[in-house]
Chains A and B, each alone.
Chain A
Amino acid sequence: GESVGLHLPTLSVQEGDNSIINCAYSNSASDYFIWYKQESGKGPQFIIDIRSNMDKRQGQRVTVLLNKTVKHLSLQIAATQPGDSAVYFCAENGGSNYKLTFGKGTLLTVNP
């Protein structure tokens, strides 16, 4: 869904289901992307990254897909667990070697 002001897009899933979190980025110069997980009261935690010369990258239970044509990034979490409940941010580098620009985030809630 769309986010307005303080309202985060939200995704609610059942434990064991697969989750897909989407992100639209804006800067066509971006060639490096990262997904972060932020639990309540904590700082963002690195999950997985992908360079623009790839369209898919897999980690442990997570997969990131990149579609440069439509400037879209997605994070897939397999067999979602209650511990996956958090806000997920995508970040792009805008072509910079040092600067990251974060999106608004998606709140994932996993129901037992």
Chain B
Amino acid sequence: EAGVVQSPRYKIIEKKQPVAFWCNPISGHNTLYWYRQNLGQGPELLIRYENEEAVDDSQLPKDRFSAERLKGVDSTLKIQPAELGDSAVYLCASSRGQISGNTIYFGEGSWLTVV
């Protein structure tokens, strides 16, 4: 089966500009995650969706970050305006449901550099 697809793979923007990342999860996976991974660190959860509902967004910096999954399939993550500290890899992941017994599959990531 096709894996989790993310775009763009790489993005360089100036600070204060907006940026958006897109994710297409594995077909049939109702749970979708956005993680952020800083250089040399493990991924950190930003938001989790169950179908179209954001059920855990406690780690999402809501002043500048937003996400949506309107039809319960594809998702977008937006940053507006971007700051230098937002430079990181933004990883999308999906699973069929609960993590115990359902593998979480990650995409290749969207590499953001804010200059």
Contact = CB atoms under 8 A, between A and B. Distances in A.
Interface in B101-115: 103-109
B31 interface: yes
A6 B109 contact: no
Contact of A97 (B45, B100, B105): B100
A45 B108 CA distance: 10
A102 B43 contact: yes
A7 B31 CA distance: 32
Contacts of A103: 42
A5 B40 contact: yes
Interface string B77-115: 000000000000001010000111001111111000000
A105 B106 CA distance: 16
Interface residues of B, number: 24
- Give chain A's interface residue range (CB within 8 Å of chain B): 20 to 34
A91 interface: yes
A104 B108 contact: no
A18 B1 CA distance: 32
Contacts of A5: 40
Contact of B106 (A3, A6, A44, A101): A44
29 contacts: A6-B40, A7-B40, A32-B100, A34-B99, A34-B104, A36-B106, A43-B4, A43-B91, A43-B93, A44-B43, A44-B91, A49-B100, A51-B100, A91-B42, A93-B100, A96-B99, A97-B98, A98-B56, A98-B98, A99-B45, A99-B99, A100-B45, A100-B99, A100-B104, A101-B45, A102-B42, A104-B42, A105-B40, A105-B42
The 3 closest A-B pairs by CB, nearest first: A102-B42, A43-B106, A6-B40
